[in-house]
C-alpha cells in the first residue's frame, strides 16, 4: 500500500542540473550560515589575507610597470655610467645628435625640490622646453599653453594630477625649494597636460635653460646635464644608437650608459630589489599564516558535523553527494572571502586618491586581472584543500561509527 503516487517526470539534462542546484542550494546556504559568527570571521579572515595578497601583487606590478605608449619605444636615455647622480657634459648633446639613427636629443635634469613641505613629493625635471612635447608627443596640452611654456624662461607645465592635488590654477606662481641645488626654482605654471601613462600626470617640467642659468650663478660648474633623452628614427636603430653612444664616450672622463626608456625606468625598481624581496617575504608569511588559520577553522567545521553526515547517509544520501555538499559549503565561504578581498582591493584602489593619501609616493595601484584571478583561484584552492580531507574522512566513515559522534 502506498502513501503517495510516485511520479518521475522526465526532463532535459540542463533542467535536471538546474533543479539539482535549486534543490540543494538552500541546504548548502543554511549549513554555511549555521554558525554565523564563525562564518563571518572566516570570510573576514580570508578576505583580509586575499586583500593583502592582491595588494602585494599590485604593488609589485606597479614597481615594474613602465611607460606603456608606442612613442616610448623610440626613446633612449643616456646617463653617466657610474651613477644617475653623476652629471654629463652638455657638449655630449651635439655629439650624440651626430650618431646615425638619432632623430633628436633633449637635455634633462632631475631637480628634486620641495614644494612647501617635504611630504608634497613629486617628480620635477628641467628639460629643453622647445623639445619636450615633440619628444613626449603622447602628452596632450592646449597649444596656447604649450606656446606660453616654450616662450617664458621661468614657465612650468605639470600633469593634471598635480594640478588637482595642489589645487593649482594656470598662472599660479610656485617655489620649489632646492635640496641638492643651492637655489630655489621660482616658477610660473602656464599649462597642464594629460598622458595615457598616468604617473606622467604627476610630473612637473620647467626650462633646462633656467636651471642651467641658476647652476652657473650659484655653483662652480656650468653646462651640465643630468641625462639625455634620445629620440630614435626607427625601432631598428635603437640598439645601434645605444651601442654607438656608449662606445663614443667609453674612454672619456664621463662614460655613459645608454638604454631604452623602459630599461631606464626598470633600473629604479631594480634598486628596490631587496626591499621588494623583504616586503614579499613578510607579506607571504602573513598571508600564509592567516590562510592556515582559516583552513583549520573550515576543517573543524566539517569535523564537528560527522554525525550529520551519517544522518544524511542513513536517509539515502550517497557519500559522493554529501562530499559535494560539504565542498560546496566550504567553497561558498572561501569564494565569499575571495570576493571580499579581491573586490575590496579593486574597489578601494580605484576610488581612493592614493596620490593624496601617500603624499605623492604612490600615484596609482592598478589591480590587474591576473591579481584578481590569483586571489580567486587561491580562495578556491583554500576552500577545497581545507574541506576535502575532513569531508572525505567524514563521508568514508561507516554510518554506525559516525552516528556515535552524536552528543
Stretch that binds other proteins, among 63-71, 210-218, 318-326, 371-379 (CB under 8 A): 318-326
What cell numbers appear for 38 in the block? 564563525
Q: Which is nearer to other proteins, 9 or 369 (CB)?
A: 9
Rounded to the nearest 5 degrees, what angle is found at the Cα of 84, between the Cα atoms of 83 and 88? Answer: 95
Question: How far apart are alpha carbons 326 and 28 in whole angstroms?
Answer: 8
Question: How far apart are alpha carbons 195 and 191 in whole angstroms?
Answer: 13
Q: Beta 140-141 vs 114-115: how paired, if at all?
A: unpaired
- Burial tier of 155 (Cβ tally within 10 Å: 0-12, 13-18, 19+): buried
The reply to whether 4 sits near other proteins by the rule CB under 8 A is yes
The H helix count followed by the E strand count for the chain is 16, 13
Helix (H, G, I), strand (E, B) or coil at 234: coil
Stretch that binds other proteins, among 78-86, 138-146, 190-198, 304-312 (CB under 8 A): 304-312
Which residues, other chains included, contact 316 with Cβ-Cβ below 8 Å and sequence gap of 6+? none
- Yes or no: say if 26 and 332 are a contact pair by the CB < 8 Å rule: no
Among residues 122, 58, 44, the alpha carbon closest in space to that of 347 is found at 58
Q: Beta 185-194 vs 155-159: how paired, if at all?
A: parallel
Smallest separation (angstroms) from other proteins to the CB of 383: 19
The reply to whether 311 sits near other proteins by the rule CB under 8 A is yes
Of the candidate residues 12, 27, 240, 242, the single one contacting other proteins (CB under 8 A): 27
Question: Residues in the chain, how many?
Answer: 407
Stretch that binds other proteins, among 22-30, 57-65, 104-112, 275-283 (CB under 8 A): 22-30
- Draw the binding track, 256-295, toward other proteins (x: CB under 8 A; -: no contact): ----------------------------------------
Question: How far apart are alpha carbons 326 and 320 in whole angstroms?
Answer: 10
Smallest separation (angstroms) from other proteins to the CB of 5: 9
- By CB under 8 A, the residues from 130 to 149 that bind other proteins are none
Of the candidate residues 57, 146, 313, 346, the single one contacting other proteins (CB under 8 A): 313
The reply to whether 7 sits near other proteins by the rule CB under 8 A is yes
Of the candidate residues 31, 42, 58, 306, the single one contacting other proteins (CB under 8 A): 31
Smallest separation (angstroms) from other proteins to the CB of 305: 9
Q: Which is nearer to other proteins, 183 or 317 (CB)?
A: 317
Of the candidate residues 98, 179, 318, 350, the single one contacting other proteins (CB under 8 A): 318
Smallest separation (angstroms) from other proteins to the CB of 23: 5
Question: How far apart are alpha carbons 356 and 367 in whole angstroms?
Answer: 18
Interface residue list for other proteins (CB under 8 A):
1-4, 6-9, 11, 16, 22-24, 26-27, 30-31, 33-34, 307-308, 311-321, 398-400, 403, 406-407
Amino acid at each position: 500500500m502506498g502513501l503517495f503516487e510516485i511520479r518521475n517526470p522526465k526532463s532535459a539534462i540542463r533542467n535536471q542540473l538546474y533543479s539539482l542546484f535549486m534543490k540543494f542550494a538552500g541546504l548548502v546556504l543554511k549549513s554555511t550560515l549555521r554558525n554565523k559568527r564563525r562564518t563571518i570571521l572566516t570570510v573576514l579572515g580570508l578576505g583580509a589575507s586575499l586583500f593583502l595578497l592582491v595588494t602585494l601583487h599590485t604593488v609589485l606590478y606597479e614597481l615594474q610597470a613602465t611607460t606603456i605608449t608606442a612613442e616610448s619605444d623610440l626613446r633612449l636615455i643616456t646617463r653617466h655610467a657610474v651613477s644617475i647622480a653623476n652629471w654629463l657634459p652638455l657638449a655630449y648633446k651635439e655629439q650624440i645628435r651626430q650618431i646615425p639613427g638619432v632623430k633628436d636629443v633633449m637635455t634633462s635634469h632631475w631637480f628634486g625640490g620641495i614644494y612647501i613641505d617635504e611630504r608634497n613629493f613629486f617628480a620635477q625635471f628641467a628639460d629643453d622646453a622647445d623639445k619636450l612635447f615633440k619628444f613626449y608627443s603622447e602628452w596632450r596640452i592646449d597649444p596656447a599653453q604649450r606656446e606660453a611654456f616654450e616662450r617664458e624662461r621661468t614657465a612650468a607645465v605639470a600633469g593634471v594630477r598635480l594640478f588637482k592635488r595642489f589645487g593649482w590654477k594656470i598662472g599660479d606662481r610656485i617655489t620649489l625649494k632646492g635640496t641638492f641645488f643651492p637655489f630655489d626654482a621660482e616658477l610660473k605654471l602656464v599649462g597642464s597636460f594629460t598622458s595615457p601613462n598616468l604617473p606622467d600626470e604627476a610630473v612637473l617640467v620647467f626650462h633646462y635653460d633656467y636651471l642651467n642659468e641658476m647652476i652657473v650663478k650659484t655653483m662652480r660648474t656650468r653646462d651640465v646635464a643630468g641625462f639625455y633623452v634620445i629620440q630614435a628614427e626607427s625601432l631598428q636603430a635603437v640598439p645601434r644608437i645605444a651601442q654607438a653612444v656608449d662606445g663614443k664616450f667609453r674612454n672619456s672622463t664621463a662614460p655613459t650608459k645608454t638604454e631604452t626608456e623602459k630599461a631606464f625606468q626598470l633600473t629604479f625598481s631594480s634598486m628596490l630589489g631587496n626591499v621588494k624581496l623583504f616586503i614579499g617575504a613578510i607579506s607571504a608569511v602573513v598571508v600564509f599564516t592567516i590562510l592556515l588559520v582559516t583552513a583549520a577553522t573550515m576543517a573543524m567545521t566539517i569535523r564537528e558535523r560527522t554525525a550529520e553526515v551519517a544522518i544524511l547517509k542513513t536517509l539515502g544520501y550517497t557519500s559522493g553527494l554529501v562530499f559535494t555538499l560539504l565542498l560546496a559549503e566550504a567553497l561558498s565561504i572561501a569564494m565569499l572571502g575571495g570576493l571580499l578581498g579581491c573586490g575590496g582591493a579593486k574597489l578601494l584602489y580605484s576610488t581612493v586618491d592614493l596620490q593624496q593619501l601617500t603624499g605623492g609616493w604612490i600615484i596609482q595601484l592598478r589591480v590587474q586581472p591576473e591579481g584578481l584571478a590569483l586571489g580567486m583561484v587561491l580562495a578556491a584552492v583554500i576552500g577545497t584543500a581545507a574541506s576535502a580531507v575532513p569531508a572525505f574522512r567524514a563521508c568514508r566513515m561507516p554510518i554506525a561509527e559516525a552516528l556515535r559522534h552524536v552528543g
